[in-house]
Amino acid sequence: MSGLGTLSKVPAEVVENILDELCTHHVRHLQEYIPEFIFPWRQGGNFQLSNLASLARLCRVSKLFNEYTTWRLYHSLMHSRTKSKWFLIVRTLVTRRDLGGLVRHLALVDLKSDIPEDPALFYPEVLSYYTKQVALNPDCCLPPDALSLTDRNGSGGNAILATIISLCPNLSTLDLASYGSCTPCGFCSAASMLSLTGVVASFSAHSTNDWDDVESFLPLLRAAPNLRFLRFVDIGCFSLPEDLRLEHVANLDLQSCIEGDALAKFLQLCPNLQRLKYMYKEDSPWPDAQFRSAEAASTVLAHAPNLREFYLDLADLQSDLVDLQSDIADLQFDLSFLPMFEKMEEDEMRLSKELLEARGITCKFGMVLDTAGHLIYI
């Protein structure tokens, strides 16, 4: 007790700085997905799960430490957890709604494999909450029993996603993967997540031919009108409601599955876009459904009047050509066209770059990596 009495005399900012050294558990993961200029928190530090355990122990030391550490413990919930721990977290958030309000950064990826097989992990509190949410949101398309099923069609994964997201109304950033045709954001009501500024959305493919459409994330987009950053990975775009506009999105990052028409729809969705990045993906579910530089330039000129920066990474296209040459080298086909094709692609990129730069857009285009794996810009 005397130790705590002495500690209570230490200036609060000193204690805060000491505890901050235990709060590096969220930094590494978010830096992998989201540009650091979007988020203001302190950079640096190493990822250590032991720090989480230390914070949890400190929460139970005293009321003073509980006040200092609880919000730090729940500030960032990342995906590097076992399936049983995720369900424990959900049970805690269901029974302590105030804790869900402390969560600012949430990453939920590969949850389909995390759906527990042990029925003991399906806590009654969680199942009851989920069932009520399904009843309150009849358009969510989630089965009422999805949480209690170890299904293979994706509804189980999206069910736990929808449940966790609904329990964290004050998020700043969200990283999630969809698992099927039913939406992972089915419990989001319009304008219910005003603090959400950054979203990374991907699709967890069941096979090489699987991909998802941005339509699955429409409830989330409507719930977060103040979004500033979006990243879509293996997410296509067949159609979007004409009334939906994300006026505050300034940064858009797209990877794979985007044809010219889909790019146009994304640009129309974000009328005030300032920075666009596209990465061609060699392992795309639909590699042919990806635009090239000329199509990108014409689409940007037509639909992105406020764009200032455009990054185009076609390195995987180069890898596709190398793989093609390797695969058919033994078939004695004439491969003399390949260098010519590469030259045509590069010339097309240069011309597209000139057209865009004439409009005042800074362009960084490339399709070749250096020995360190960095893209070489033309």
Ordered mean pLDDT values, 10 residues apiece, the chain (378 residues) = 59 72 50 41 42 77 82 76 75 94 82 55 86 91 75 64 91 80 80 90 59 82 93 83 91 80 89 92 63 86 95 73 49 53 78 93 86 80
Number of independent structural domains in the chain = 1
Alpha carbon of 326 to those of 285, 287, 323: distances in Å?
A: 21, 18, 5
Instruction: Determine the pLDDT at residue 119.
Output: 62
Whether residue 111 is contained in a domain is answered as no
Placement of tokens 């006026």 in the chain: 247
Instruction: Determine the pLDDT at residue 339.
Output: 59
One-letter amino acid of 118? D
3-state SS, residue 20: helix
Q: Which domain holds residue 25?
A: 1-75
Q: Is the dihedral of CA 293, 234, 31, 376 positive or negative?
A: negative
Q: Is the dihedral of CA 306, 374, 173, 265 positive or negative?
A: positive
d(CA 246, CA 269) in angstroms, rounded, equals 6
345 phi, psi to nearest 5 deg = -60, -45
Buried b (16+ CB within 10 A) or exposed e, 67-103: ebbbebbbbbbbbebebeebbebbbbbbeeeebbebb
Alpha carbon of 17 to those of 2, 41, 47, 115, 160: distances in Å?
A: 22, 14, 18, 37, 35
Instruction: Determine the pLDDT at residue 340.
Output: 59
Helices (H), 122-225: 124-136, 155-166, 218-223
Helices (H), 202-312: 218-223, 260-269, 293-303
Please say whether the beta carbons of 322 and 242 come within 8 A: no
Whether residue 262 is contained in a domain is answered as no
d(CA 320, CA 23) in angstroms, rounded, equals 42
Query: Can you read off the two tokens belonging to residue 260?
Result: 């010219």
Whether residue 218 is contained in a domain is answered as no
d(CA 305, CA 83) in angstroms, rounded, equals 45
Percent of the chain that is helix, strand, coil (3-state, to 5): 45, 15, 40
One-letter amino acid of 361? I
Instruction: Determine the pLDDT at residue 165.
Output: 92
Whether residue 376 is contained in a domain is answered as no
Whether residue 8 is contained in a domain is answered as yes
Whether residue 26 is contained in a domain is answered as yes
Instruction: Determine the pLDDT at residue 207.
Output: 43
Whether residue 347 is contained in a domain is answered as no
* Bridge partners, residue 271, by sequence: none
Whether residue 91 is contained in a domain is answered as no
pTM of the model: 0.80
d(CA 157, CA 140) in angstroms, rounded, equals 14
* Bridge partners, residue 108, by sequence: 176
